[in-house]
Structure formats: structure tokens, C-alpha cells
Structure 1
Amino acid sequence: MKTADCDILVIPGLRGSEEEHWQARWASRLATARIVEQDDWHSPAPGPWCGRIVEAVAAATRPVVLIAHSLGVVASVEAAPRFAPGVVRGALFVAFPDVEETPNLPESVRAFAPVPRDPLSFPSLTVASRNDPYCSYERAEDFAHAWGSLIVDAGEAGHINVASGHGPWPEGLMRLAGFLKNL
């Protein structure tokens, strides 16, 4: 599959994706990509966040590929059972946050727990870091396996965001291209 063949839904996490973030960059450069907007990026609520993702998937006119980062991964997995069968063809999940065990998370983020562990009905690729402050690699790997997702070890890459030095993140774009090629 090529990017021109699908609707790419970019799903940021808490506080959205600032202009320099790889997700915002990809959304502005990939012709078929758009960010799934939320009413409040700073005080997330599972129901509305998941609802927005379900609405965006339902409104798509082509097969859908999700690109989710951080809390966007959790919201996407929670929304997945509500997608019409066959519409979502794949997902790239980056920097899954452990909303169940990470200490000092805001209550609004903890409200997304427990994270579903049911297998997803579409292929997915989960990119996880060995030193992500919001999730151990082992927990990310455990959830990825539960979802039936392939896991990619990003090494010591932090939370794979601007703060960890991942502005444009060309390695991620190459991973996306390889993943799409196999869909």
C-alpha cells in the first residue's frame, strides 16, 4: 500500500503534537494525512478522545492507517473495537505509555486504564524505546504481543518526541514506508 492509497489518521497524545514534532511534520507533508483533533489536548477524557478517533475512521473515504503516539496509542487501542470491520488496514504505534503503572501521571491520563489487551483486527507495528520515561520496554513489548503487534526496539530513544531529539524522525518515516509496503 502507498500513502496515496489510504487515509492516514495521525493521533497525537497528551498536549497534542507541537509544530516540530514528527507527527505534525508528517501530517503536513503526507498528502493523505490529517491529525485527529481533540477538544482538549491538556485534559483528556477516554470517551471523547476515543469517540473522535471512531468518527475520523468512519468518515474516511479510503482504507485507513493510524499513526499514534503516546496516549494516542492507548486511545486508538481502546477505540479499535468500535471500528467498522476492514476499514483500518494497519497502525503504527509509537511510544506506548504505561497508564497503569507509570507513577505521577495526571488523573485524566490514568482514566485511560486499564489498557485493552485484546488482539487487534488489523496489523500493527509498535515502536518502543529502552529508556522511555513513561513505559519500560518490557511492558511495551508485553502489550504489543497481546495486541498481535510487531515490536521494534528503538534503542535508547526516550519518548520519541521533540524533547528526546526526534523532530523530523526520518527513521520512523522509513519504518512507516516499510510497514505500508507489506499491507
Structure 2
Amino acid sequence: MRFLAVPGRGVPKATHWQREWASRPGWAWAPEPPGPPLVLADRVAALDLAIGASGEPVVLVAHSAGCIATVMWAERHRGPVSAALLVTPPWLREAEPDAAADWRVPMAPLPFRAVLVASRTDPYCTFASAGVYAEAWGAELFDAGDVGHLDSKTGFGPWPAGEALVAGLG
């Protein structure tokens, strides 16, 4: 089983849980975090290349905008994805009518098992909005509690609960 870390908008700090996990054997970035600006079409293309690099099944572990890239990939492509962990996706639905087509968030069931991790205190997505995503994507909703955006700023670093979720998907 392969694991691909799908980064968010920026470059995760050295202390970010996703950076630490991506350094483990059997893990890779999809793509290596390029930093701003975020061009979703480029991220989706890089994710497609990483998934297609092997016929071996893959678990996607996406954070923030990486969750949006993951669901966009699933809408447009197929590959040996067995599951995805979608951690604190940003809520982009309000901006959709005025947003570029690149930012239209698919709202259809994913063709693989998914767990969406939502925070009660995420500044980019309310818990209720995360529930809307989870229902639309056919994902299990995991209540992570008051964890902000689950990033280095909010103290994640090590994230044992996330490791347990990944183990359940792999």
C-alpha cells in the first residue's frame, strides 16, 4: 500500500504532521508542496501523475486545499485509490458563482472510501459546512474537536488520532 500526502495551499512547516508522515517509507508527496500561488489544475495534474506512477493501491492523505484537489481529481480521473483521509477542507461554496472554474468544488460521492476530519474551531470551515461536504462526498465525518485548522499553528506536530485514522484506511 502506498500513501500520498496531498498538501494544502502553502508549504507545511517542518513540525507539521503531514510533513513528518510524508518522510516515512511508503509515503510520498503528491505533489511536493510548491507554495503559493495555489493553481488547482496544476495540483490535480500532479496528483494524477503521482497516483498513476504505480498500479499499486494508494491512500490519499489530504490537508486543507489538498482536499479540494483530491475531490477534483476524483471527479475527472480514475486510478488505484483505495481510500482518502480529508483533513479540514476549506469551505469554498459561497464564492462558487463568482469563482473561476478551477475553484468549483465537486459535490458528488467519491468512488472510494473517505473519512473527512472536521474541527469545531476551524477558521476556514464550520463544522456544519464540513458535514455538508462529508454528506456530498459520501465520506465518514470524524469530529476532531476544538483543533483549529489542524496545522502547525494550532499545535499539530504529532497527531496520533490521525495516525489511527490512516491505519484504519490502509
Q: Give the alignment's TM-score, normalised by structure 1.
A: 0.85
Report the CA distance shift for 1:118/1:167 in structure 2 as closer, same or farther (over 3 A). Answer: same
How many residues get paired? Answer: 167
Q: 130, 135, 142: which one pairs with 2:125?
A: 135
1:37-62 deviation digits (Å, cap 9, x = unpaired): 25842101121111111111111241
Q: Secondary structure at the match of 1:138?
A: helix
Q: Aligned equivalents of 2:168 and 2:104: distance in 1?
A: 31
Alignment check: 8 A CA contact 1:100 1:113 kept = no
CA RMSD across the alignment = 1.8
Q: 64, 71, 88: which one pairs with 1:77?
A: 71
Give the deviation of 1:28 after TM superposition: 1.1
Q: Secondary structure at the match of 2:23?
A: helix
Q: Which amino acid aligns with 1:163?
A: K
Q: Give the alignment's TM-score, normalised by structure 2.
A: 0.91
Matched, 1:92 2:91: no
1:65-105 deviation digits (Å, cap 9, x = unpaired): 100000000011001133335x1000000011012348xxx
Matched, 1:168 2:162: no
Q: Which runs of 4+ in 1 moved over 2 A?
A: 37-40, 81-85, 99-102, 110-114
Partner of residue 27, structure 1 = 22
Partner of residue 44, structure 2 = 50
Q: Secondary structure at the match of 2:158?
A: coil
Q: Any gaps of 5 or more consecutive residues in structure 2?
A: none
Report the CA distance shift for 1:36/1:164 in structure 2 as closer, same or farther (over 3 A). Answer: same
Q: Which amino acid aligns with 2:19?
A: A
Give the deviation of 1:114 after TM superposition: 2.2
Alignment check: 8 A CA contact 2:4 2:27 kept = yes
Q: Aligned equivalents of 2:13 and 2:77: distance in 1?
A: 27
Q: Any gaps of 5 or more consecutive residues in structure 1?
A: 1-5, 103-109
Alignment check: 8 A CA contact 1:7 1:61 kept = no
Q: Aligned equivalents of 2:93 and 2:78: distance in 1?
A: 28
